[in-house]
Each structure stands twice: as structure tokens, then as C-alpha cells.
Structure 1
């Protein structure tokens, strides 16, 4: 099994084999929490105008996401697990657009199949890939707004790679590095309204969920399908 760690949009464009698009803070952690709270289908969308159009066509869909970390005008929720965790969404459909994670899905056009990646379902991702036993695995780290690599996405990729290769992981050390680095913003008092501290803790709960989110096609759209592993 050839495992490649790639970065940003450029990495997504060259990803092949089973591709895991990683966005720990916060898109693909938020997506897992949404599914756990009852969302039955998630449409990941790169273009915010397309997201608004889908909401206009389907007013009953939830519109969730961010630009510059904050909830855009007219959205139901921001890209925050903390905003979703206490709300049940029985059989609802969600439109999800973010600056990083959903952009990776849109650009991973050469992948054989695409999974979303985060710490909260890392073990399920590893078990899914082991069962498939592909020749190539691409771990694509989407970074901050697709502008530069981040600690949390790169370390999540390293965690998955180590697990697949049977190597030990120092998860506590990884979290300490993230908290001191790119995760420090979640502890800034001035940012709590859109980047609450609890998002840091929710996004770093290792293996909380026992499913992967796989990208499936539906006409011109794609959606995330949960698969228990």
C-alpha cells in the first residue's frame, strides 16, 4: 500500500486511489457530529452561491458552513460542532460549504473514491482502508482556507498513515502540538462567538464515531454517505 500525504488544493487535484480529504477544524468533524445528530444526507458544496441556490430550491434543507471561520449571512448554522451537538435533526438534509474541506472534495477529481477525514472517526477510516486494501492511498490535508498547511490536518494524516503502517502514534503529543499552534485560536476570548473552545475539544475526540463518510454522486451533485465500519 503506497500512502501519500498531500497538501491543499494542489494535493487534492493529484490525489489518486482511495483519497481521504482531511479537515479537522472543522468541516469534517462537524459533518460527523451532524450525522450523529440525525442528518440523513450532506451535500458538500464548494461554491457559496451554489449553496445559497440549493437552499432557495429546498428551503427545508439546513444551510451550514463558514467563510473566514464565521457563519455567512442567511446560514442556519456555522461550521461548528458546538452549535450542532445539542440539536436533534431527525432525517434532515444539510448543505455544507466551507473554505477548506469541501473545496478538497470538489477538486479531488482523479480519486477512485473519496472519504472525509478527521480525528473523530480516524479508526473507522483506517479499518475501511484496510478492508479495501488499495494500491494507493492519498491523504489530502486541506489546511487553513486552502492557503497553508496546518498542524491538525497534517498530524491527522500522519496519525492515519502510522495506523495503516502499524506504527505507534503519540496522540497526546499531537494534541499538545495542535493546541500550542494552529489550534490556539479556539482559546482566544475574542473569537468565542464563532470559534468556541468547545470546538477544539469536540474536534479532537479521537474515534468518537464508528462510521466513515464516503462521497457519492447524485447527478451533478455529490453527497456524503455514512458507512458503519
Structure 2
């Protein structure tokens, strides 16, 4: 297995083999919490306008997302794991529009053979699927801030996944401590907070869920994110973690 470490929207567009799109704060984390809450599917879209058009055509759909980290007008939820975790999403379709994560999925679908999305919340399940299928090439794409500039949380998450795939020990405990002191965390805390503080800990809960997420093309050609459950594995079969 050859692992390519890529970044930003340009990296997503250049992904090959199996692409793993990473946006820790907060799109990929939101997707995991939405599926854990019973969502039937998520429709990632490239723009707020596309999301609103889908809502107009399907009033039963729910909208989640952000622009500049804030909930767009007409949306049901922000790009917030705490908001979707508190909602009743059972059997619902969630349309998801974000500046980095969902745009990265759209971009990667144009270049990669298969597209997954990953956050710390479903890390082990994603690694287990990749180890089980052993694709020749895995493109790990750290989406960064708005898909335009690097973000430490996405790069660290990508490296954590790469370490699991190569059986290199990880030390997760230091990651939340480090990230809390970075510019990326300013949106959660203190005078600069503009999103729910609870989102920080939810995004940095390791292996909260035992499923991985895959982007597929539906029969109508629209991109959809779906939940794939992984069989329970004995601890001895999983890569080493610290």
C-alpha cells in the first residue's frame, strides 16, 4: 500500500486510488455524529445555493453546513456535531454544505477510484476497512481551512491514519492538548468563540463510532455519503495504538 499525503482542494482534485478526505473541524466529524443519530444518508454539496435548491425541491430534507464557520440563512443546523447529535435525525436525509469537507468530497469523486471520509471519531473503523481491502494507493487528503490553507488538526489526523496503516504507534492523548492552543481552536473558546465549545471535544473523541463513511454516486448521479458498518475485530487484529 502506497500512501500519498495531500492537502486542500487541489489535493482532493489530484487524489488517486482510494481517497480519504479529512476535515476534523468539523465536516467529517459532523457526518459521523449524524449517522450515529440515525440519518439515512448525507448529500454533500459544493455550495449553499445547491443545498437550498435541494431543500426547495424536497422540503423533508434537513440542511447542515457553514460559510466562514457560521450557519447559513435557511439552514436547520450549523456545521456542528453537538447540534446534530442533539437532533432527531432518524431516517432523515441531511444535505451538507461546507467550505472544505464537502467540497473536498466533490473534488475527490472526480479523480479517485473510491472516496472515504475520516475523522478522529471513526478512525479505527476507517483504518480497518483500508487494511482489509489493501488498495495499492491511498490518498490521504487533509482539507485545511476552507480548503485553501493548511490546518494542524487535519494534518495530524491524516498522519494518525497513515501511522495506523503502517503499524506505527500513535500517541493520541497529546493531540487535543496541542490543538487547543492552535489558531484552529480559537473558534471554540473565549472571546473569539463563534461555534459551540462542545464541538471541540466531540471532534476530538477518538473512535466514538465503529463505522466508516463512503461517498458514492446514486442512481440519479447525485453524490451521497453512506454509513458502512465494520465487523467487530479482536483487539489483537488492530494496529498498535498508544
Q: Fold-level match, TM-score > 0.5?
A: yes
Q: Distance in 2 between matches of 1:190 and 1:34?
A: 28
What corresponds to 2:240 in structure 1?
Answer: none
Check the 8 A contact 1:183/1:200 in 2, yes or no.
no
Shift of 1:84: 1.7
What corresponds to 1:80 in structure 2?
Answer: 80
Query: Helix, strand or coil for the counterpart of 1:146?
Result: coil
Check the 8 A contact 2:29/2:121 in 1, yes or no.
yes
Structure 2, gaps ≥5 residues long? 231-242
Structure 1, gaps ≥5 residues long? none
Change (3 A) 1:36 1:6: same
Q: Distance in 2 between matches of 1:2 and 1:220?
A: 30
Shift of 1:228: 0.6
What corresponds to 2:126 in structure 1?
Answer: 125
Deviation track 1:51-99 (CA, whole Å, cap 9, x = no partner) reads 1100000011001100000000010000001112222212111100000
Q: Is 1:99 aligned with 2:99?
A: yes
Q: Distance in 1 between matches of 2:199 and 2:25?
A: 8
Deviation track 1:110-147 (CA, whole Å, cap 9, x = no partner) reads 11100011000000010000011010000001101112
What corresponds to 1:68 in structure 2?
Answer: 68
Q: Distance in 2 between matches of 1:43 and 1:213?
A: 12
Q: Is 1:18 aligned with 2:31?
A: no
Query: Helix, strand or coil for the counterpart of 2:123?
Result: helix
Query: Helix, strand or coil for the counterpart of 1:171?
Result: coil
What corresponds to 1:139 in structure 2?
Answer: 140
Q: How many residue pairs align between the two structures?
A: 228
Shift of 1:32: 0.6
Query: Helix, strand or coil for the counterpart of 2:216?
Result: strand
Check the 8 A contact 2:22/2:158 in 1, yes or no.
yes
Q: Distance in 2 between matches of 1:15 and 1:95?
A: 24
Check the 8 A contact 1:143/1:153 in 2, yes or no.
yes
